Each structure stands twice: as C-alpha cells, then as structure tokens.
Amino acid sequence: MAEYRHEEEHLKWEGSFAEYVELVKERPWIAQSSHSRVFNMIKDAGVEERNGKKDYLFFKNQLFGLEDALEKLVEEYFHPAARRLDVKKRILLLMGPVSGGKSTLVTMIKRGMEAYSRTDQGAVYAIKGCPMHEDPLHLIPIALRDDFQKEYGIRIEGNLSPLNLMRLEKEFDGRIENVPVERIFFSEDKRVGIGTFSPSDPKSQDIADLTGSLDFSTIAEYGSESDPRAYRFDGELNKANRGVMEFQEMLKCDEKFLWHLLSLTQEGNFKAGRFALISADEMIVAHTNETEYRSFISNKKNEALHSRIIVMPMPYNLQVTQEERIYEKLISESDVSGVHIAPHTLRIAAIFTILTRLKEPKRKDIDLIKKMRLYDGELVEGFNDSDIQEMRTEYEDEGMNGIDPRFVINRISSTIIRKEVSSINALDVLRSLKDGLDQHASITKELKEDYLGFISIARREFDDMAKKEVQKAFVYSYEESAKTLMDNYLDNVEAYCHKSKLHDPLTGEEMTPDEKLMRSIEEQIGISENAKKAFREEILIRISTYARKGKRFDYQSHDRLKEAIQKKLFADLKDVVKITTSSNTPDEQQLKKMNDVISRLIDEHGYNTTSANELLKYVGSLLNR
C-alpha cells in the first residue's frame, strides 16, 4: 500500500496552463484525441504479423478466434479515426450473437484506457476543477488556433464549455495562462473519462442521465437557469469526455436518447440545458445483436442515425483450438478450477460447438468435418489456403448463429456439480450437452436433430482419440518403435525408387525391396496401388530437400507418413490392447501391462488415476464391439 500511494503521488501533476503548454512542446502526444489514444493503446501493446495478417497483442489471452474481426476493427475503425478521418464521426456498433465477445471487447478497452492513462504515452491533462475534464487547449481563443497549429503542429477541436468560459472571466480575469491544469486518470468507478449508459424503462429514464441536469437548489443563489454554475454536468456524456462512452444495448434505447448522438458524432458537441452546444471528445461504442439491428435499420425514422454508425460484425469463433481456450479461460475463473478435466474433454465439447456454427460447404468435395479441420489450421490432403479463403467468402453470416460458449460452460459446470467427483471426461460432458438441448430456449425441433447429429460426430472423434491415446500408451518406447519402422520403410523405398537391392545387416545377402512391408504402411492412409510410386518418390524428394537445407528428416517430417507409421503400429497392437483391457480377471502379466499403461497415461498424457482407468475401460469396450 505504501508503494501504491508513492506511485500515485509520483504520477500526479498540477500546474498553470502556461506550464502545460511547455509540456505539450516536449510531448505533443498528450494533446491527442480520444480515438487516437485508444488506437495507440492497442498499438503500443504490440503487433505480430503472420501470413500477411496482424495480431494485436492487446486482445491476447482474452478474446480467442476473433483475429480477423479484430484486425478489421483496428484497421477500418480505430486507425483511420485516430488520423481524424471521417470514421471518427461515427458510432462504433459491435454486432454479433450472444456471448460472442462484444461486452468483453468493450470492457477490455475501458480497463485498458484506465491503465494507459497512467503511462507516459497515455497521459491525459484537464482543466482543474472541471466536471467534464475539459481539454486545456480549449482555452486558446479560436482566433489564435491557426497560429498555434503552425507553431506546435496540433489542431484544436472544440470550444470551451459554458462553465469554464465563466470561470475564465470571473476567476482568472481572462488570463488563460493562469488557469490551473492537472493530470487526470481514467476510471469508470470514479466517472472520469469512461461512461456507461444502459437503457431502462423509457417512461422513467431521464435524458439527464446522458447530459446532466439543473441543480434547482442553486437557482436562488445564482439567479438564473442559464447560469452554468446552477447546472450539474454529471451525465454520462459529460463524464465520458476525453475517453470512451459505452452504450449497452444501444438500439433498445428510446429515440430521444439516440438523437443526442447525431450532433455528438458529426459535430463533436451536444445540447444540454439553456447553454450553447457543449463540445465533447469521446469514442462512442455500442453493441447489439443481429435481430435488433435488422429491426433498427428497417425503421425509416432511424435513417439519420444509419449513416452515423459503423457496424462491425463480431461473429462466434470458428476454430476448435481457440474454442478450447475460451473454455479453459472461463473454467480458470470459476470455483471449479481445481476439478480434474480429462484430456480431450474440452476439445470434444469445442468440436460439437464449432459444428453448430458452421454452414454446409457449397463445394461437393468438402464436408463439414473437413471444413472444421481446415478452419482450425489442420492440413487436409488436397486443400490449401486458397480453398480456406474461398470457403470463408461463401457465407457473409457464418458464425452469427450456433451454440454459445456460456451454454457449454453451464453444461460442463452442471456435469461437475452433478457427478460430485474430482474428475470428468468427454463422455460426461457430451451427455450433459445432450440433456441440455431441451433447456436451450432458442433451439427448435429441427435444430435439435442437427445438434444431436453433431454430438454423435463429436463422440466418434472422441472414440478415435481415445483409441489412439491408449494404443500409444501401450507401445513401449513409442518414439523408438516409430523410428525403427520408418527407417525400415525408407530403406525399402529408396531401393524401390533406385531399382536397387537391400543388404541384410546380419547375413550380408542381397534382398529385393519388401513390397509387403511398404504396402502395409501405405494402405493405412489409403494409398492405392496406382498411387504408391508417386507417394514413394514424394518421400524421397522431401528427404533430399531436408538434406539440402541441413535439416534432419524424421518420422514427423511428413504428416501423411507420420500418420501411416502411427496407424501401422496401432494396428499391430490392437489385439494386445483388446485382450488386456477387456479381461475381467487379468493375469499377472496383463495386470502389469495395464498398470504400466495407466502410469504412462498419467505421466505423459495428463490423466489422473480416475480418468486413466475410465479411458482404459472405455477403449476396451470399443475394441470388443
């Protein structure tokens, strides 16, 4: 606490307007607009480029799978608005389905601005004692502003508020250089630079919530309703000046509240009380869902506002891996974070969720599963980045419908509470998701049938994962086995392609390439008899490419070969796994093998004792079907 108080004192600054102008000379960025401050806050957090796209690190670890939407938001709104282009005069409207990240994004911007205002780059200064935290540069008369811009390179927008205009005349005798200026720190709790407006009953909600109100107790003292000292400049638009104004569910607001936004966005001012227009510099961000937005634009009375709004779609995430991260984040923030969740559980839930959000591909050679894998960055034979881009442009509204993350987390939470154990697995969650479909208000009978189908697909995906996991654990020294098998295969492939013989390492005899061995591996990934020659030549080309670059080729250097090697090993072990896991009274040898497998599942694959035993039993039942 002592350190905190010391830091607070260190950050404070107070001086005259003349001293503030000297600060502006040294650090011109402190006079930036609200839009510029938001953009610089995001940019200063760091930017990473990958595949020609920008990842803004400001949003990292909070918003997942929305990289494209966030890049568009920064590049098409924040950046041009920061450069004072016309989009600065627009309301930013985030439109998307429930639980899609809209509120999280706005909260991040608000919390980010609070923290950024405490840094040197994000420092904000205001006229001391002003309830609207007014920009000190408004004190400079309009007649002198062109000269000021030529000398300092800073453009001044906005006029001095009625209250500060009166203070300048009465308290400081018109001498602007003596007006006190202080550093301010944005705080939603203290209503400094961050405002939030939420619609309520239109019959009882007062416009004063936005623009402030007359203080009737002071009229007798000041003698007039037009005296600015008799007015409370405490509306959300007043308090959000210099920062961010959030309109929650903006389109649910009564029309009289929305009209104030017309002049605020276009001219940078609004009307309050019996005063001239009051200048305000604030970024207005609102959010709504698609249904309300469609209803809003269909109403002709709202046409004036249409052109003042920039709509940024915020669809659901469409990547399985990122959806997993969303669940991990939500669980880590809950009281059940100590419950063991077996490996693949969240991924299987994510697969189901993503399938509900995807639209059927229009191309006949791509099904929903392939589309899901491609979107998640997996390599699918025969498809490349251009195919993914083509799919992304097939539907404008893909990702605007489907199951939301909150529903899935609710079902996971329900599983944890109901099961009352320290461990849950993918089957527990799938059962809970299935039971929960009846409780989801927006799921129609037709949708429910589709969703049950997606649960079946997710179950099949889990079956494959479970079998692979157990079979891997059964392989003693798995990597060594895979390496030995691959080396053997490559020796034979090289001899086959070069039309040469192999030498038996023990006898030294010459041998023809082992066609049976090569085909037993290639058949695992569907390489036909006609395609085997091309596949083998492709492997040799890859090896020579690696050698040329000084890189070592191993069994993980070629995805399809890796898959083939794994499947071959698993196929050879299937009978061993089947017998061992299904035995009701395992002998000593089988028991030892099972204990070894459980230990390996725990040590190497992230299971605990309960989930490892459950997995082993389940795979045993699968192999015996």
> What is the per-residue pLDDT for 51?
76
pLDDT in tens, 152-161: 999 999 999 9
- Is the pLDDT at 202 greater than 70, yes or no? no
Q: Are residues 271 and 211 in contact, defined by beta-carbon separation less than 8 angstroms?
A: yes
Confidence of residue 337 (pLDDT cuts 50, 70, 90): low
Lowest mean pLDDT among 181-190, 381-390, 403-412, 511-520: 381-390
Nearest to 595 by CA among 612, 614, 579, 578: 612
> What is the per-residue pLDDT for 266?
79
Confidence of residue 470 (pLDDT cuts 50, 70, 90): confident
Q: What CA–CA distance (Å, rounded) separates 402 from 180?
A: 55
C-alpha distances (whole Å) from 135 to each of 124, 125, 155, 193, 368 are: 9, 7, 12, 12, 55
| Rounded mean pLDDT, 579-583 | 67
- Is the pLDDT at 420 greater than 70, yes or no? no
Confidence of residue 386 (pLDDT cuts 50, 70, 90): confident
Q: What CA–CA distance (Å, rounded) separates 73 from 56?
A: 11
Percent of the chain with pLDDT over 70: 95
Q: Are residues 474 and 597 in contact, defined by beta-carbon separation less than 8 angstroms?
A: yes
68 vs 252, residue with greater confidence = 68
| Rounded mean pLDDT, 247-265 | 77
Q: What CA–CA distance (Å, rounded) separates 163 from 449?
A: 64
User: Which runs of E-coded beta strand occur in 504-582?
Assistant: 510-511
> What is the per-residue pLDDT for 469?
86
Pair of tokens at residue 31? 């006079």
Q: What CA–CA distance (Å, rounded) separates 618 from 606?
A: 17
For residue 56, give the 3-state DSSP assignment: strand
For residue 279, give the 3-state DSSP assignment: strand
448 exposed, middle or buried (CB, 10 Å; 0-12, 13-18, 19+)? middle
Lowest mean pLDDT among 194-198, 462-466, 507-511: 507-511
pTM, two decimal places:
0.81
Task: Quote the distance between the C-alpha of residue 55 and its chain's center.
Answer: 11
Neighbouring-strand partners of residue 502: 511
Nearest to 615 by CA among 602, 477, 481: 602
Confidence of residue 204 (pLDDT cuts 50, 70, 90): low
Q: How far apart are the first and last CA of the chain?
A: 65
> What is the per-residue pLDDT for 20?
96
pLDDT in tens, 233-250: 888 999 999 999 998 877
Q: What CA–CA distance (Å, rounded) separates 253 from 266?
A: 20
Q: What CA–CA distance (Å, rounded) separates 260 from 91?
A: 12
Indicate the DSSP class of residue 75: I
Lowest mean pLDDT among 102-106, 305-309, 389-393, 395-399: 305-309
In which residue are the tokens 């609004």 written?
Answer: 270
Q: Which amino acid is at 612?
A: A
Q: What CA–CA distance (Å, rounded) separates 55 from 336?
A: 31
- Is the pLDDT at 380 greater than 90, yes or no? no
Give the containing element (helix H, strand E) for 458.
helix 445-474
C-alpha distances (whole Å) from 80 to each of 38, 502, 576 are: 12, 67, 64
Q: What is the secondary structure of 160-189 as a DSSP string?
A: --HHHHHHHHHTSTT-GGGSEEEEE--BTT
Q: What CA–CA distance (Å, rounded) separates 10 from 8?
A: 5
| Rounded mean pLDDT, 271-291 | 86
340 exposed, middle or buried (CB, 10 Å; 0-12, 13-18, 19+)? middle
| Rounded mean pLDDT, 23-38 | 94
Indicate the DSSP class of residue 378: -
Q: Are residues 194 and 188 in contact, defined by beta-carbon separation less than 8 angstroms?
A: yes
| Rounded mean pLDDT, 551-556 | 81
CB-based contacts of 96: which residues, under 8 Å, 6+ apart? 102, 287, 289, 290, 313, 314, 315, 316, 400
The mean pLDDT value of the chain amounts to 87
Confidence of residue 374 (pLDDT cuts 50, 70, 90): very high
Q: What are phi and psi of 54, to 5 degrees?
A: -105, 135
| Rounded mean pLDDT, 239-265 | 82
CB atoms within 10 A of CB 356: 19
Q: What CA–CA distance (Å, rounded) separates 250 from 258?
A: 8
> What is the per-residue pLDDT for 156?
93
| Rounded mean pLDDT, 487-496 | 90
Confidence of residue 477 (pLDDT cuts 50, 70, 90): low
601 vs 471, residue with greater confidence = 601
Nearest to 35 by CA among 5, 3, 77, 64: 77
pLDDT in tens, 120-130: 999 999 999 99
